[in-house]
């Protein structure tokens, strides 16, 4: 079996004004995604997805990475990952047993590599007639899920989160520190208090600051939130500053979570060496696909750190994240987005995601286990412009 083509398709879903929500990023006006196809001469096509600006991802995939893959055996996933990462130095890298990456193998290029890796694993699973999570080792066949959203202002925060619980049976939810009515420590504390009073003591609550706070404010807020039994405080400060994350972590009893903005295993090693986090949150469409995140999770496990994938995005991203959650022994819960309008998540595949009593059930079909609807490229034709308007 040989690869015959690699294609990237930019997609967009415009959000109607009545369904737009506001956070520290501004108002969400559309959702973008890039769908990646890897075709083979055996009639098997793998699908993947990448984060990053879709038009740029398309150019990188088709103009830079495609030529390294055409004619190759797609079942040699590790070799192809090395070829994409190391470029012309792949052979000496594999012969000597250490990486020799091209100078540009970060950022959007690494996101493009991530999407291709997802597609290669999809091909391997289809070829062997096994779901990806079983090829990765299969730690479980269902996993606890948490509803991820929580932008509602003031006393509306609790009822909004309760709605997630009522609809899907979640016993854990995540809310944003900066809601639709902006940020203030006292205001945020009152929103969390509303959530705890509404949900009671049996529902776990996590909070996410999107890296929007300074160290002093993050510590003050964390100390105020400790009495509400918070499951984790996500990205309290900029994720680029591992020392600052470590400072916040050392100042609170609330576990710290971060990692959705990191790329290679070396970024995650830095987080661990700084004692900056209790939970790693790699995104399979950014951090190197299944191939690299297995290595990230193993490093975390050696330090007693959980790996819980970031899963906010398209249906392909959630599908890949489900397989990770089923395969990684140090993952006990999975993010399920709860934005009011996400058709590229809920109306993208022929099949439905199975969420039963607050747990996501593993797909049983080969590969990713999902079939892209025939009309997605027409329904979600790419449109230029930002996803957020501040």
Active site residues: 310
DSSP letter string over 297-325?
Answer: HHHHHHTT-EE-----S-HHHHHHHHHHH
Number of C-beta neighbours around residue 385 at 10 A: 10
| Three-class SS state of 127 | helix
| Rg value, the chain, Cα | 20
Number of C-beta neighbours around residue 374 at 10 A: 9
Tell me how far apart the alpha carbons of residues 2 and 290 are, in angstroms, rounded to a whole number. 21
Structure tokens of 381? Answer: 């034709």
CB-neighbour burial class of residue 103 (10 A; exposed 0-12, middle 13-18, buried 19+):
exposed
CB-neighbour burial class of residue 373 (10 A; exposed 0-12, middle 13-18, buried 19+):
middle
CB-neighbour burial class of residue 323 (10 A; exposed 0-12, middle 13-18, buried 19+):
buried
Number of C-beta neighbours around residue 157 at 10 A: 26
Expressed in angstroms, the distance from the first to the final Cα of the chain is: 48
Comparing CA positions, the residue from 7, 258, 263 lying closest to residue 110 is 263
| Three-class SS state of 116 | helix
DSSP letter string over 178-227?
Answer: SBTTB--HHHHHHHHHHHHHHH-SSSEEEEE-TT-S-HHHHHHHHHHHGG
CA-to-CA separations, 367 to 118, 319, 349, 371, in angstroms, rounded:
10, 10, 14, 10
* Strand 26-28 to 388-389 pairing: antiparallel
């Amino acid at each position: 079996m040989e690869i015959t083509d690699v294609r990237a398709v930019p997609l967009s879903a415009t959000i109607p004004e009545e369904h737009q929500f506001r956070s520290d990023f501004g108002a969400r006006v559309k959702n973008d995604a890039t769908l990646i196809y890897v075709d083979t001469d055996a009639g098997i096509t793998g699908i993947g997805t990448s984060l990053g600006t879709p038009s740029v991802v398309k150019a990188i995939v088709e103009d830079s990475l495609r030529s390294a893959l055409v004619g190759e055996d797609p079942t040699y996933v590790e070799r192809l990952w090395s070829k994409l990462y190391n470029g012309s130095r792949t052979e000496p890298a594999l012969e000597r047993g250490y990486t020799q990456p091209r100078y540009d193998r970060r950022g959007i290029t690494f996101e493009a590599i991530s999407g291709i890796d997802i597609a290669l694993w999809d091909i391997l699973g289809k070829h062997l007639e096994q779901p990806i999570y079983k090829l990765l080792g299969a730690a479980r066949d269902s996993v606890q899920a948490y509803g991820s959203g929580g932008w509602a202002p003031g006393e509306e925060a609790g009822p909004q989160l309760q709605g997630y619980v009522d609809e899907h049976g979640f016993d854990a939810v995540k809310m944003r520190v900066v809601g639709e009515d902006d940020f203030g420590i006292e205001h945020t504390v009152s929103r969390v208090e509303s959530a705890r009073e509404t949900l009671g003591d049996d529902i776990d609550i996590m909070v996410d600051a999107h890296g929007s706070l300074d160290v002093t404010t993050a510590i003050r807020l964390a100390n105020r939130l400790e009495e509400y039994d918070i499951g984790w405080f996500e990205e309290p400060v900029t994720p680029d500053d591992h020392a600052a994350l470590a400072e916040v972590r050392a100042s609170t009893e609330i576990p710290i979570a971060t990692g959705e903005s990191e790329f290679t295993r070396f970024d995650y090693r830095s987080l661990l060496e700084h004692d900056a986090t209790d939970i790693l949150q790699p995104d399979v469409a950014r951090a190197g696909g299944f191939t690299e995140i297995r290595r990230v999770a193993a490093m975390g496990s050696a330090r007693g750190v959980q790996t819980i994938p970031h899963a906010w995005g398209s249906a392909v991203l959630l599908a890949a994240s489900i397989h990770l959650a089923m395969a990684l022994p140090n993952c006990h819960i999975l993010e399920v987005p709860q934005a009011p309008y996400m058709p590229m998540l809920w109306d993208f595949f022929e099949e439905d995601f199975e969420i039963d009593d607050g747990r996501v059930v593993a797909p049983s079909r080969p590969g990713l286990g999902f079939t892209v609807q025939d009309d997605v490229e027409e329904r979600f034709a790419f449109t230029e412009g930002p996803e957020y308007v501040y």
